[in-house]
Structure 1
Amino acid sequence: MLRELSNAIGVSGDEGNVRAIVLEAIREHVDEVTVDSIGNVLAFKKGTGRQRLRVMLDAHMDEVGLMVVGYTNEGLLRMRTVGGIDARLLPGTLLKVGPDQMPGVIGVKPIHLADEAERNKVVQIKQLAIDIGAKDKEEAEKLAPLGTYAAFDTTFREMGSAVSGKAFDDRAGCAALIALLRGERFPSDIHAAFTVQEEVGLRGARVAAYALEPDCAFALEGTIADDIPKDKDVSPTTELGKGPALTVMDRSFIADRRLLKLLTETADELDIPYQFKQPGMGGTDAGAIHLAREGIPSITIAVPCRYIHSQLGLLNLDDFHHTIQLTRESLSRLTRRILRRN
C-alpha cells in the first residue's frame, strides 16, 4: 500500500489520483464513505459500542510540488513551489508534468558558465525553469498551460529495513490510516478523514473537522528526521529506528496532554518504542482540527522520515509498523473518562 501511495501523483489541490487509491483500498472495510465538496475522503467505521465516542483519524493526501506560472521565449517553463520546497535541491530534478505526466527536468545555468559569485550563492527559484523539450514559447504554452502541476518523478524502492520514495509526508500517514480501517472494529466510532491541501495551509482538515465534529482527533503524519551528520552536536528532531514520533508542541498546536499520556502509557505497557519530536518545529492537520467548533482535543503521531519535502525520502519500516500498532492499541484503550478535564 505504501508503495502505491508513494508512487501516485497528488500535489496540493490535485489529489485525485491518490483519492482513487484510498477509496479503492477502504471501500469494503468501512460502513460509509463520501467525498466532500473540496475533495476530502470521509469514511465512517462503526465501533463495537463499548465506548460512545466519535474519534477522528486524519491523514493528508497531498504532497509538495510545483506549478507552471510562465514561459521563456526558448520554451522553458517558469514555476513556483506548491508547499515548502528548498530550491537548493531542485536543479537536475526529474519531473512528471501535467495530467499526462510528461517528462521534464529542472534546469539552471551550467557551472561552466557561472562566475565565482554565482557558484557560491544559494540558487533562487526564479533562476530555475522546467525543460519539457518544447522548441519555443508557443509550444510550451500548448503543452503546459498556466497552472499546470509538476511532481517529482521518483520510484519507491526497498532498502533493507528501510524504504525510499517521494511524498512520505503524508502517504506514510495515509497508508497507516488505511491499515487501521482495514482491521478490527474499535470500541469507539471512527471517523476517518483523508484530507486535501495540508501543505498549503491545513485547508482540508479545517473543513473535515467542522463537518465530523469529533470528541477527539489523531493526526497520522510523516515527520522530519534529521539524524544525519551536522557541523554542530545538536539533538535531532527525530531519529529513524526509534519508533513513532509524538508531538508535544509545534508551530500549529500544543498536543492534548490527556491523549499524550494515553499514547505514552500504552507504549510503555506494551514495550512499543516511541520518541518525542523536538518541540516547536513544523505543523500538521492537528493545528486546524483542534480549533474547530468549540475545540477538539488533538494529538499527532508520526513516522520519522529523512529528507521530507524533497525528491526522495527515507523511512524505517519498523517505525511505520510501530506507528500503526501504537495508534491501534491506544484507540482500544481510549475512554470518555480519559477525555474528562480535571
Structure 2
Amino acid sequence: MEQLNFDLLKQISETPGAPGYEKPIRDFMISQVKDLCDEWYTDNIGNLITVKRGSNNPENKKVMLAAHIDEIGFMVKHIDDKGYIRFHTLGGFDPKTLTSLRVIVHGKKDLVGVMGSKPIHSMSPEERNKVMKSEEYYIDLGLPKEEVEKYVSVGNPITRKQEMIEVGNCINGKSLDNRICVYALLEVLKDLKGKEIPYDLYATFTVQEEVGLRGAHVAAHHINPDFGIAIDVTVGNDVPNIAPQDQVSALGEGCAIKIFDAGTICDYRMVEFLKQTAEKHDIQNQHEILTAGGTDTAGIQRMSEEGAIAGAISIPLRYLHQTTEMAHANDVITMVNLLVKSLEDIDKFDWSH
C-alpha cells in the first residue's frame, strides 16, 4: 500500500456504530469485504469474520487479526418534561470535551442534538473550577417532549456528529478509534486478494471492544487461533508538556509494535517476529508501552483453548477518546504493509524459541 484512500476512510469514520449497535458500520463493511475472502459470516454477538484459506497449512494453523468496529457513544437513559435527554456513556469519554458537542440520536429517525450543560455565567466560582462529570450534561434536540418522544425511546444509541477532514499532514475526525484500523484491515484484505499466504487468516471486525473486549472474547473462543494480532490505535502523546519517558508514540513515525498494555503482556515471540519482519522489509515502526488502557489483544491471547501467541500493531492517535481525533497517513500505510508481510512470512519464523 502506497497511498491512503481518504474518501473510503471518511465513509468508514462517519458511519455510526456505538457499542451494541454496530449494524450500520457492519453492513457497510460486509459490502466491502464479501468479494475479498473465501468466506465470511457474522456470529451471534455481531462480529464480522472473514476467512482466507492458507496454501501451505497441513497443521491447520490459524491467524486471527482483529479490528473493532464499535465507536464510543451514548445511550438514551431519560427524557425529561422539557424534552432534554439524559444519557449513559458507552465507552470512556473525557468529560471536559463534551461541552457543545453535536451528536446524533438514532431513534425512529436520526435527530441532531447538542450536548448542553449549566452555562458558565450561571456557575458559582467553585463550580467554574471543578471538572464536570458526564452525568451533568444533557442533550438538547431543540424540540418539546412530545415531539422528542415521537422519535426517541430509552435505549436508543447516540453517536458524535463530526466530519472527517485533512488538517495539515494529518487526518482529523470522529471515531478514528478504531475506524482507522478498520480501514487498514480492509486494505490488508485488498492487498492479499489473489496472493497466497501459508496459514488460514481470520480477519475479524469485532464489536463491543469499548465496553470490555466482548466481541473479541466470543470470536477468539470460536476461531481458536494459534496466532493473533490486534489492530488498534494507541496514545499519540507527542505533544507539549509530556516528558520523554512518558511518550507512548508519535504521529508520522510509523506504526507501533505493542510490547505491553494494561490488559496484555504481548508474547515476546510475536514482538520479535513483527520487529524482524519490519526490519527485513524496511517498514518504519516504533515500539509501544501503554500503561493505561487495553485492546482486543487480551481477548485474542486468552480466550482460545490453549491461548494464542498474540501481539498488536497500533496507529498513534492524538486526542484519543475526545471530540475529534488525529492520525497520520504514514502510520496507516506502514501498518498495512507490516501486516501483509507478516501474514506472508509467518511460517518462516522459529516460534519454538
TM norm structure 1: 0.95
| 1:130-172 deviation digits (Å, cap 9, x = unpaired) | 0011223x44344321111110101111234311111111111
Q: Which residue of 2 aligns with 1:178?
A: 186
Which AA in structure 1 matches 2:125? E
Q: Which residue of 2 aligns with 1:10?
A: 17
Could you list the runs of 5+ residues in structure 2 that have no partner in the other structure? 1-7
1:332 corresponds to which of 344, 347, 350? 344
Deviation of the 1:330 alpha carbon? 1.6
Q: Provide the alpha-carbon RMSD of the alignment.
A: 1.6
Which secondary structure state, in structure 2, belongs to the residue aligned with residue 335 of structure 1?
Answer: helix
Q: Which residue of 2 aligns with 1:319?
A: 331
Give the aligned length.
Answer: 340
Which secondary structure state, in structure 2, belongs to the residue aligned with residue 276 of structure 1?
Answer: strand
Deviation of the 1:225 alpha carbon? 0.8
Q: Which residue of 1 aligns with 2:45?
A: 38
Matches within 5 A, 1:17-96: 17-49=24-56, 52=59, 53-96=61-104
Q: Which residue of 1 aligns with 2:308?
A: 296
Matches within 5 A, 1:180-329: 180-184=188-192, 185=195, 186-230=197-241, 234-292=245-303, 293-329=305-341
Deviation of the 1:56 alpha carbon? 0.7
Asked if 1:98 corresponds to 2:103, the answer is: no
Identity %: 34
Distance 1:130 1:290, change over 3 A: same
Which AA in structure 2 matches 1:67? M
| 1:90-136 deviation digits (Å, cap 9, x = unpaired) | 01000011143211000011111111111101011221100011223
Contact map agreement 2:234 2:290 (CA 8 A) in 1: no
Q: Which residue of 2 aligns with 1:166?
A: 174
Contact map agreement 2:255 2:313 (CA 8 A) in 1: yes
User: Bigger CA drift: 76-85 or 262-271?
Assistant: 262-271
Which secondary structure state, in structure 1, belongs to the residue aligned with residue 44 of structure 2?
Answer: coil
Could you list the runs of 5+ residues in structure 1 that have no partner in the other structure? none
Which AA in structure 2 matches 1:280? T
Which secondary structure state, in structure 2, belongs to the residue aligned with residue 123 of structure 1?
Answer: coil
Contact map agreement 1:253 1:287 (CA 8 A) in 2: yes
User: Bigger CA drift: 297-306 or 269-278?
Assistant: 269-278
Which AA in structure 1 matches 2:154? L
Deviation of the 1:337 alpha carbon? 5.4
Matches within 5 A, 1:116-127: 116-127=125-136
Deviation of the 1:277 alpha carbon? 1.5
> Aligned partners of 2:124, 2:150: CA distance in 1, in Å?
35
Distance 1:232 1:221, change over 3 A: closer
Deviation of the 1:279 alpha carbon? 3.8
Query: After TM superposition, what 4+ stretches of structure 1 lie above 4 angstroms from structure 2?
Result: 231-234
Deviation of the 1:234 alpha carbon? 4.9
> Aligned partners of 2:347, 2:114: CA distance in 1, in Å?
52
> Aligned partners of 2:72, 2:151: CA distance in 1, in Å?
22
> Aligned partners of 1:191, 1:95: CA distance in 2, in Å?
34
Which secondary structure state, in structure 1, belongs to the residue aligned with residue 316 of structure 2?
Answer: strand
User: Bigger CA drift: 287-296 or 222-231?
Assistant: 222-231
1:156 corresponds to which of 147, 164, 169? 164
User: Bigger CA drift: 41-50 or 252-261?
Assistant: 41-50
Distance 1:338 1:232, change over 3 A: closer
Which AA in structure 2 matches 1:191? Y
> Aligned partners of 1:29, 1:231: CA distance in 2, in Å?
42
> Aligned partners of 2:301, 2:30: CA distance in 1, in Å?
26
| 1:276-335 deviation digits (Å, cap 9, x = unpaired) | 123422100111111112211111101111112122111000110001111111221111
2:153 corresponds to which of 127, 145, 152? 145
Which secondary structure state, in structure 1, belongs to the residue aligned with residue 143 of structure 2?
Answer: coil
Which AA in structure 1 matches 2:50? A
Contact map agreement 1:171 1:222 (CA 8 A) in 2: no
Which AA in structure 1 matches 2:112? P
